[in-house]
Amino acid sequence: MSKDSSADTDAIRALRLGLEMEMRFIDTAEMYAKGHSEEVVAEAVGAERESVFIATKVSPENLKYDSVLRSCESSLKRLRTGYVDLYQVHWPNSRIPIRDTMRAMEKLMTEGKIRHIGVSNFSKKQTREAQEALSKSSLASNQVEYSLLERSIEKELLPYCTSEHVTIIAYTPLGRGSLAESPLNGSRVVLDEIASKYCKTGAQIALNWLIAKEAVVAIPKATNLQHIRVNAAAAGWRLSREDERKLDESFR
């Protein structure tokens, strides 16, 4: 989302349609449009705050103890709320000890300003370090890129997070639109065949493949209203094990 507020109307309309279709997880960050994204979320959510799960992120340059506290306060003001459901470290920063960051996170949780602690773009090693830095809480999530086209987390990170009960939040779950529109040679043929079998779109098949996995949620980005409707219809049903296997093999 750009700083240009002329796009606000479309973004608010898209968010509200998503809420109408029971898509109640909204992810944002202080980094997006220099905080303006959080303001747009606040406008869209309005009086429905208590029924919406809002996640936001602290930027990597703000991971020192006091900076985390200040960033959270600023995000709360922009979001017009007394708490966020999930507060995430947007990117790791090797120059700042993770213990300082997590100490601030636990203070915010104790004060009721955040309800869950998460990270984003953390490797298996970094995720473990973040977990070990928490003294009173457990790490709730790690937001990383994951899709049929980007499966590198399956080697180490996904098995680790599954075993540790850390939810994977999959961003770019449609491969920046490639799984919805672009030809993918043989893999695309398999995706289209399975989509036809279920009377679904390729995007819906790709999203369902993701969310069928244990402890994985997907956050497809969309402002187009039709895309929102398509994304919402990816839930409420499940691919057969055989078709999941075909996708696994085709996109390796």
| pLDDT reported for residue 4 | 57
- 153's CB contacts (< 8 A; 6+ apart) are 144, 145, 146, 168
Say what the pLDDT of residue 187 is: 80
Average of per-residue pLDDT across 174-194: 78
> Mean pLDDT throughout 213-240?
95
Residue range 18-30, pLDDT digits in tens: 999 999 999 999 9
Question: Which amino acids are annotated catalytic?
Answer: 32
Q: What is the mean pLDDT of residues 3-26?
A: 90
Q: How confident is the model over 114-127, as a mean pLDDT?
A: 98
Across the chain, mean pLDDT equals 94
Give residue 184's pLDDT.
Answer: 57
pLDDT the model gives residue 201: 94
Q: How many domains does the chain have?
A: 1
pTM of the shown model: 0.94
List, for residues 88-118, the tens digit of each pLDDT value: 999 999 999 999 999 999 999 999 999 999 9
> Do the domain assignments include residue 58?
yes
Average pLDDT value for residue range 119-137: 97
Q: Quick check: is 51 in a domain?
A: yes
Residue 109 covered by a domain: yes
pLDDT value at residue 1 = 47
Please compute the mean of the pLDDT values over residues 118-137 and round it to a whole number.
97
Which pLDDT score, from 0 to 100, does residue 252 have?
Answer: 81
Burial category of 139 from C-beta neighbours within 10 Å (exposed 0-12, middle 13-18, buried 19 and up): buried
Domain extent, residue 71, equals: 5-145
**Within-domain flag for 29:** yes
| Tens digits of residue pLDDT in 132-167 | 999 999 999 999 999 999 999 999 999 999 999 999
The pLDDT of residue 200 is: 96
Share of the chain above pLDDT 70, in %: 95
Mean pLDDT, residues 80-93 taken together: 98
pLDDT at 181 over 70: no
Q: Is residue 167 part of a domain?
A: no
Q: What is the pLDDT of residues 201-211, one digit of tens each?
A: 999 999 999 99
Residue 227 lies in a domain: no
Q: What is the CATH number of the domain that holds 95?
A: 3.20.20.100
Q: Look at residue 92 in the predicted model and tell me its pLDDT.
A: 98
**Residue 226 reports pLDDT greater than 90:** yes
40-69 average pLDDT score: 98
- Is position 43 within any domain? yes
Using the predicted structure, report yes or no on whether residue 195 has a pLDDT greater than 90: yes
